Amino acid sequence: MTLTYPLIGNYGVPSYETKDKDGIPKHFESEKIQVRGLVIHELSLVASHWNMSMTLDEWLYKEKIPGIMGIDTRSLTKKLRNNGVMMAALVVSSKEIDDEEIKKQLATTQDYTSEKFMDIVSTKEEQVFGNEKQTVVVIDTGVKNAIIRNIRNIGYKVVKVPWNTPIEKILSHKPKGVVISNGPGDPQNCPETIDAAKSLIEKNIPTLGICLGAQIIGLAGNADTYKLKYGHRGQNKPCINLDDNHVYVTSQNHGYCINPDSLKNSDFNLWFTNADDKTVEGIKHKKQKCIAVQFHPEASPGPYDCKFIFEKLKTLMEEDTSAKK
């Protein structure tokens, strides 16, 4: 990952040990750093914040994540802007680095588009947050902690399950609803999750998909997905709610998207669209209690304009009437 802001690390990093009542770290969205390397222009030699417990350099060192500074990251960004997402390597050597040899090695490395990330990012065992009577199951395809926090805030116990959990196991928790989370990579590399989503739709279990989860739900309902050239990365992406024509500022981080042309032959109606490039940002099932958004309603970071999406899920879960068959 490369950052375009020229000076990084001014505020340092807070402690993992500061947790909420459910034992979820307050200041982190994951249990570990998820990037494999960090590229910046300049590392601040001084970090100062009342809440910091370590510097950025110490954090990377602690988690054994390589970083490099002194790079013209804005020039690098221009290259990425022209070429789209690219393969890259960070190389350390006491001798002069042979660029051509590194390029040859990189050419034989597995392309990230074909990499299977789920066994890396998903939980290996079930985790429970809260003790309320009513449960929301979260299928973990790389879930952010803020998604769990938001479900807890609307009053439900959360059971987080691995990405490939079969529908029978999901239903054994008697869920009031299910959330299929965000995560990395191509949604078509999650066939077990797609199968579970199909069953959830068929059984009319209230379901919300977020980011990767939205793409998985789309595939489960006969839509198609495709890879964006650049992806959408940022905290100020405008999306239009087609129900009321309101524009919301959203947080986004994805490289794949639902094909808008495929919706006409799918089980979904378009709900949100991207104001910049007209890509699909949200879908609603035509009959069942199933909704999905491509953006991150939980934000963290970013604006909280779309936290109402979790209230939409709650409404679906609390409705007594079944969807039309």
DSSP annotation string for 43-90: E-S----TTEEE-HHHHHHHTT--EE-S--HHHHHHHHHHH-S-----
306 is catalytic: no
Cβ-proximal residues to 70 (8 Å cutoff; 6+ apart), any chain:
41, 42
115 is catalytic: no
Q: Which residues pair with 226 in a beta bridge?
A: 257
Q: Tell me which H or E stretch contains 11.
A: none
DSSP annotation string for 94-135: SS---HHHHHHHHHTSPPGGG---HHHHS-SS-EEE---SSE
217 phi, psi to nearest 5 deg: -65, -40
Q: Which residues pair with 249 in a beta bridge?
A: 238
d(CA 325, CA 266) in angstroms, rounded, equals: 16
With the CA atoms of 311, 314, 316 and 320 taken in that order, what torsion angle do they form, in degrees rounded to the nearest 10? -130
CA–CA distances in Å: residue 272 to residues 103, 123, 130 = 41, 30, 32
Which residue out of 29, 257, 298, 306 is catalytically annotated?
298
Which residue out of 232, 285, 296, 306 is catalytically annotated?
296
Residue type, 266: S
| Chain centre to alpha carbon of residue 170 | 21
Q: Tell me which H or E stretch contains 230.
A: strand 225-241
Q: Which residues pair with 68 in a beta bridge?
A: 39
296 is catalytic: yes
7 phi, psi to nearest 5 deg: -120, 120
Which residue out of 211, 239, 290, 306 is catalytically annotated?
211
Question: How many other CB atoms are found less than 10 A from the CB of residue 238?
Answer: 13
d(CA 150, CA 74) in angstroms, rounded, equals: 35
Residues classed as catalytic: 211, 296, 298
